[in-house]
Structure 1
Amino acid sequence: MQSAVLTLKDITKAYHDTVILDIPELQLQHNIYWLLGGNGAGKTTSMKVMAGLIPFKGDIQLENNISCRKQPVQYRRFVNYAEAEPVYPGFLTGNDLVSLYLKTKGNGYQDIKELIELLSIHTFIHRPVSTYSSGMLKKLSLLLAFTGTPKVILLDEPLITLDKQTVPLLYDMVESFYTKHGVTFCITSHQPVSAVSIQLQVQERNIVKI
């Protein structure tokens, strides 16, 4: 039996007196998962909990070896996350952020320059992010999510503000990192999986609805 990449155990997350997440146990094997749900369903909260970015009760184990609670730095090195609406310090350039991520994540599965060219970020990566459009910020956040050697990549609403030319490129990146490098993906989306093309359409058995 395939071992779990992520194991969520006794997870609860509440804001004030409202419980947002209550997950007694959930195991995710190597695969591509779509987390579907409407606004306010808790998708982003789920992603941030799995990324180890917000406090929660319980624990998450990466490959039954690295604890999010006990080894948070090591855990976050192998679990990458791209926000739905990324925000970065406006005075930093895209190059600054890429350099920071490379220092903390290490060398990646794919040359970062190739990914920059693929996503056509090279035309603006030298500029401060305060000058970026929402689409530019989205491309940068996706690029950063593919840095290093992650075991899990969490993509929160990756299609929002993304231009039509970049969507198939993103699908190719997901498929490549999944098949060639063994990366597990968890992706949130408002749209039905049946509307999505390429390999992601095949993964309908891995829909998690909340």
Structure 2
Amino acid sequence: MASHVINLQQVVKSYHDTVILDIPRLELDYGVYWLLGGNGAGKTTSMKVMAGLIPFQGDILLDGTISCNKQPVQYRRYVNYAEAEPLYPGFITGSDLVALYAKTKGQGFKDVQEMIDLLGLGSFIHRPVSGYSSGMLKKVSLLLAFTGRPKVILLDEPLITLDTQSLPLLYTLVETFHQQYGVTFCITSHQPVTAGSIQLQVQDKNIVKI
């Protein structure tokens, strides 16, 4: 068994000759991580690089065997990502997105309809996303991040635009997927990752500063 869930090796990301990320080595074991950094520090870029969504120099290994650059399809099957401010083509329905993700990610840890009901998506999931509020889009993005059987879930500012009633539901999903299904989480947030009696235990060693 690999000692590290995700391993960044000589990762460099530049935009127009300006280096945004320069990570010689970063090894994350199983856990819940909080990615900290000020505005413009590169948190979202880091998440997109780790999700395998944008090109970069170097490589990222999942479980020590799956290369982001050499096996991108297999890598993205096991690394899920929820954007801070998701955007989708307006004509697509939430159901279309769920069906697409379910097809590409495969059978999930939890039943998708159960998660739709949990997050209160049933009343609008069949409508085109052009009519969604920012909160609705956020819920769909989070739902998609929990599809399939991921080894790593990346949540970029999961708390913004989310109504207070949905926060405990999100924490329940994170806790369940981490404790029961062995999923490692990397979360960016400007707010404490707590909600009522539920608290995600992020120790000092699990705070990654950039």
When the two structures are superposed, what TM-score results if normalisation uses the length of structure 2? 0.96
The answer on 1:189 being equivalent to 2:189 is yes
Q: Does 1:126 align with 2:145?
A: no
* Kept in 1: contact 2:34–2:202 (CA 8 A): no
CA shift at 1:2, angstroms?
Answer: 7.2
How much identity, in percent, do the aligned residues show? 74
Deviations 1:83-108 (A, max 9, x none): 00000011010000000000000010
Gaps of 5+ in 2: none
Residue 193 of structure 1 deviates from its aligned partner by 5.2
Partner residue, 1:208: 208
What is aligned with 1:41?
A: 41
Q: State whether residues 30 and 183 of structure 2, in contact with CA within 8 Å, keep that contact through their aligned partners in structure 1.
A: yes
Render the CA deviation track for 1:33-87: whole Å, top value 9, x for unaligned. Answer: 0001111010000000000000100000000110000000000000000000000
Give unmatched runs, 5+ long, in structure 1: none
Distance 1:198 1:160 in 2: 18
Tell me the residue number matched to 1:25.
25
Q: Paired residue for 2:85?
A: 85
Change (3 A) 1:194 1:104: closer
3-state DSSP class of the match of 1:60? Answer: strand
Moved over 6 A (4+): 194-197
The 1:56/1:116 distance shift into structure 2, 3 A limit, reads: same
TM-score, length of structure 1 as denominator length: 0.96
CA contact (8 A) 2:33 2:202 kept: no
2:76 aligns with 76
How far is 1:203 from its partner? Answer: 3.4
Distance 1:164 1:193, change over 3 A: closer
The residue number in structure 2 matching 1:104 is: 104
Q: CA deviation at 1:16?
A: 1.1
For 2:56 and 2:67, the matched residues in 1 are separated by 13
Distance 2:76 2:143 in 1: 16
Distance, in Å, in 2 between the alignment partners of 1:34 and 1:202 is 7
Deviates more, 1:107-116 or 1:184-193: 184-193
Task: Note if contact 1:91-1:128 (Cα within 8 Å) is conserved in structure 2.
Answer: yes
Q: Aligned-pair distance for 1:195?
A: 8.7
| Alignment RMSD (CA, Å) | 1.7
Aligned residues, how many? 210
Distance change (3 Å), C-alpha of 1:60 and 1:130: same
Aligned to 1:181, the other structure's residue is in SS state: coil
> Aligned equivalents of 2:45 and 2:205: distance in 1?
23
